[in-house]
Structure 1
């Protein structure tokens, strides 16, 4: 069965039954956006790779319990990605790396700055599209995607119910450019 044109909801359902082709199509469709988002959350290339892998491993293992409210699995994948990044930061937090010898320390700084600069460049288009949203929708995206707040926290900040947050998100996704940019933008 050809998976390319199928909606995410169908691909997730088929993945839950063990259909590897459906899961591969889901991965192909969203891995670039998840990778870009991971770069915004961490600056180390190996961390990004592991977070993306963990995100899709979680998607595979939880496919049977994931409910896709609209047509895209991307919001769920991005939240899962953010959670893995936060967990990774917590694990690394108390562990301090030994300083590199003086000659190598400068090279490590350059590499970290290059990784961060690449992440910023890759995400500039997302920020532009978020800024193009209406005021409240823009604020919701900033709170949930950029700042990493839950819907409940964002609802409290903007003075709305959690249900209203889901409705606003769904209507924004149906009409905004962010969804098209994420699905159509090439690296």
Structure 2
């Protein structure tokens, strides 16, 4: 029996706001795979990816008490937080190289900010051919394995792998160029 993801996210946020460590573990289990895939698209090393995921989950833990998700969806907010942490990491790395840049980009305060900042990501995904778009949604956003997506869409795992790779390159280019 499937539950409404919006209800799950809202309930998870309430539990996190009450300091429920089991809820934090549940959030990590649920969102870390997607955050990890996203972080690989914008980070330079395994260490950076791990740091981005940890920092994103820590931000969730710290901000859960005041977090408002009008549509009940947590993932867009998490992706923006991860992206902001990646920017901060790049700034720190650049600063260590001698450039003076600010240390922090604030995390989005609410879902509206997150949705607006991810508008361009959604536009990039929407511009993909239908099959690629659906694969991207399943594998990169919803956390399905390539085998599960292949089965759902009637494709081979190799075809899904190639399409994800192509879509990831396109999204990485959009993210790293920050033209939006």
Q: Deviations over 1:26-71 (max 9, x none)?
A: 1111111111111111121111111110000000010011112223
Query: Contact between 1:42 and 1:48, CA under 8 Å: does it hold in 2?
Result: yes
Q: How many residue pairs get matched?
A: 114
For 1:183, which of 132, 138, 142 is the aligned residue? Answer: 142
2-side partners of 1:142 and 1:58: how far apart? 21
Name the counterpart of 1:31: 32
Q: Deviations over 1:95-114 (max 9, x none)?
A: 34xxxxxxxxxxxxxxxxxx
Please say which structure displays the higher CA radius of gyration.
1
Cα drift, residue 20 of structure 1: 1.2
1-side partners of 2:82 and 2:93: how far apart? 17
Q: Secondary structure at the match of 1:94?
A: helix
Stretches of structure 2 lacking an aligned partner (at least 5 in a row)? 98-117, 126-132, 147-180
Name the counterpart of 1:162: none
Are 1:44 and 2:3 matched, yes or no? no
2-side partners of 1:24 and 1:78: how far apart? 18
1-side partners of 2:137 and 2:69: how far apart? 15
Are 1:142 and 2:121 matched, yes or no? yes
1-side partners of 2:137 and 2:42: how far apart? 20
Query: Contact between 1:13 and 1:63, CA under 8 Å: does it hold in 2?
Result: yes
Cα drift, residue 180 of structure 1: 4.3
Query: Contact between 1:55 and 1:80, CA under 8 Å: does it hold in 2?
Result: yes
Name the counterpart of 1:84: 85
Name the counterpart of 1:69: 70
TM-score (norm 1): 0.53
TM-score (norm 2): 0.55
Q: How does 1:1-187 map to 2 (within 5 A)?
A: 7-96=8-97, 140-142=119-121, 177=134, 179-181=137-139, 182-186=141-145
Stretches of structure 1 lacking an aligned partner (at least 5 in a row)? 97-138, 147-175
Assess, with a 3 A threshold, how the Cα gap between structure 1 residues 92 and 18 changes in structure 2: closer, same or farther: same
> What RMSD in Å do the two structures reach over aligned CA positions?
3.0
Query: Contact between 1:29 and 1:183, CA under 8 Å: does it hold in 2?
Result: no
